[in-house]
Amino acid sequence: MAGHSQFKNIMYRKGAQDKKRAKVFGKLIREIMVAARTGLPDPASNPRLRAALASARAANMPKDNIDRAIKRAVGGDDATQYEEIRYEGYGPGGVAVIAEALTDNRKRTASEVRAAFNKFGGTLGETNSVSFMFDHVGLIRLDHGVGDAEAVFEAAVEAGANNVESGGDGHEVTCAPDDFSTVRDALAERFGDPQEARLAWQPQTTIEVDEEQAETLLKLLDALDDNDDVQQVSANFEIAEETMTRLTA
């Protein structure tokens, strides 16, 4: 399992997320509200909101939940103000970890993130302490059933994407952050809403970890993922397939 392979990473986490759907919905609602407040509440004129809604639909969030979140954001029913913060540090085996959060209490979130790092053999660092080892990219994931690899590749390149990886789990398209909205919208028009569309941190290289390190690292990633304030977690690890099978059996 490679940290740069979004397919395997997402597959591993999906099992846990399915068991805590309410928590996943809560994170999506928070992103929808922030997106609606930072631009127009119309997704056609707000790329961030458009991406948030696509993620919500991919997670099978009921339309009523989505509509209520937008109304709360623009109608003044919820005065909570969220701050975007990026936490960076090292996990077991020297793996670089980035956790992106939306929080209404910076001190609380920092304390909880630091506690997770400390509990599972990691160290929380300063901002930019590990992000230089990643590329910030636009990431669009499409179901394998939308088309074959050649069709997706041609459409993605035509839209301005930098790279396409296709496999049994689907198609992963990456592009420059500035081209994200254009590429995502072009692919959505051609193939329908993506499974996932967001800005992501893609590791430039990966670090292979042994079974003991991998077990603790996955607990750290789960702890961060389980935090209500943490929206996305990225890491530059690689775990052998046989090791991953034993750990998730």
| 219 has a pLDDT exceeding 90 | yes
Most confident region among 48-57, 97-106, 163-172 by mean pLDDT: 97-106
Contact 69, 29 (CB under 8 A): yes
Q: Would you call 75 exposed, middle or buried from its count of C-beta atoms within 10 A (0-12, 13-18, 19+)? A: exposed
| Better-predicted residue by pLDDT, 32 or 78 | 32
| 2 has a pLDDT exceeding 80 | no
CATH T-level fold of 133-203: Alpha-Beta Plaits (3.30.70)
| 7 has a pLDDT exceeding 60 | no
| 10 has a pLDDT exceeding 80 | no
Most confident region among 2-11, 121-130, 192-201 by mean pLDDT: 121-130
- The CATH architecture annotation of domain 6-75 reads Orthogonal Bundle (1.10)
| 101 has a pLDDT exceeding 90 | yes
Q: How confident is the model at residue 58 (pLDDT cuts 50, 70, 90)?
A: confident
| 107 has a pLDDT exceeding 50 | yes
Q: What pLDDT, on the 0 to 100 scale, is given for residue 22? A: 79
Q: How confident is the model at residue 4 (pLDDT cuts 50, 70, 90)?
A: very low
10 Å Cβ neighbour count for 91?
28
Contact 172, 164 (CB under 8 A): yes
Enumerate residues 6+ apart whose C-beta is below 8 A from 56: 28, 32, 65, 66
DSSP-derived secondary structure for 4-51 = T-HHHHHHHHHHHHHTTHHHHHHHHHHHHHHHHHHS-S-GGG-HHHHH
Q: What pLDDT, on the 0 to 100 scale, is given for residue 48? A: 86
| 183 has a pLDDT exceeding 90 | yes
Q: What pLDDT, on the 0 to 100 scale, is given for residue 18? A: 52
The string of pLDDT tens digits covering residues 147-177 is: 899 999 999 999 999 999 998 889 999 999 9
Residue range(s) of every CATH 3.30.70.980 domain in the chain: 83-132+205-248, 133-203
Q: How many CA atoms lie within 13 A of 46 on its CB side?
A: 20
For 182, phi then psi, to 5°, come to -65, -45
Q: What pLDDT, on the 0 to 100 scale, is given for residue 102? A: 94
The string of pLDDT tens digits covering residues 228-242 is: 999 999 999 988 888
Average pLDDT, the chain: 86
Please give the average per-residue pLDDT across 85-113, as a whole number. Answer: 95
Biggest alpha carbon–alpha carbon distance for the chain: 51
CATH T-level fold of 83-132+205-248: Alpha-Beta Plaits (3.30.70)
C-alpha distances (whole Å) from 221 to each of 11, 17, 128, 155 are 14, 13, 19, 34
